[in-house]
Amino acid sequence: MDEDYFVQAAQVAAQATCHRAHCGSVIVSTDGKVIGRGFNAPPLGDESQRTCDVEYHSDKKPKSDKTCCVHAEWNAILNALRDYPDKVVGSTLYFMRINELGEFTEAGDPYCTVCSRLALQSGIKYFGLWNGGPQMFDTASYNLKSYNFFA
């Protein structure tokens, strides 16, 4: 069942308009219902806000994120909080990155502390990433303690 949620997140990722990455997220409540969906895109889909193609001339990541886009996770969380505020606490967020052919790609280790903080603050309990298969984390980059829910 959990792998089905990654498939759904990949389908959402196909809608992403970011020039750097095609990512999608779904949030699933404790009763198994998808309550939030999101993909990465400029705020409100406004192309005038796009800075995906900006080149950074430093080895250090800028203080802000290197993308102009609202992350897939943020959009899914906002969607869930707007439509199902009473079902977010204890939920699971599934994140998927796809390539230009729509194929699953490695998500890598959780690293975005903004996504982690927003997930923690909203009450999301688990964070699922695809890395050659499903991996689950306890809301992510603050403590990279992996949980094996799929064994």
pTM of the complete model beyond 0.95: no
More confident residue, 43 or 34: 34
91 domain residue, yes or no: yes
Where would I find the H helices in 15-130? 72-83, 113-122
Residue 83 lies in a domain: yes
Instruction: Kindly report the average pLDDT of the chain as a whole number.
Output: 83
- Give residue 54's Cα distance to chain centre: 22
Given this model, what pLDDT does residue 65 score? 58
Segments in the chain forming alpha helices (H): 2-13, 72-83, 113-122
pLDDT tens, position by position, 8-26:
999 999 999 988 889 999 9
Which CATH number is 89's domain given? Answer: 3.40.140.10
Q: What is the extent of the structural domain holding 35?
A: 2-42+66-147
Asked whether residue 59 is assigned to any structural domain, the reply reads no
User: Poorest-confidence range of 29-38, 62-71, 103-112?
Assistant: 62-71
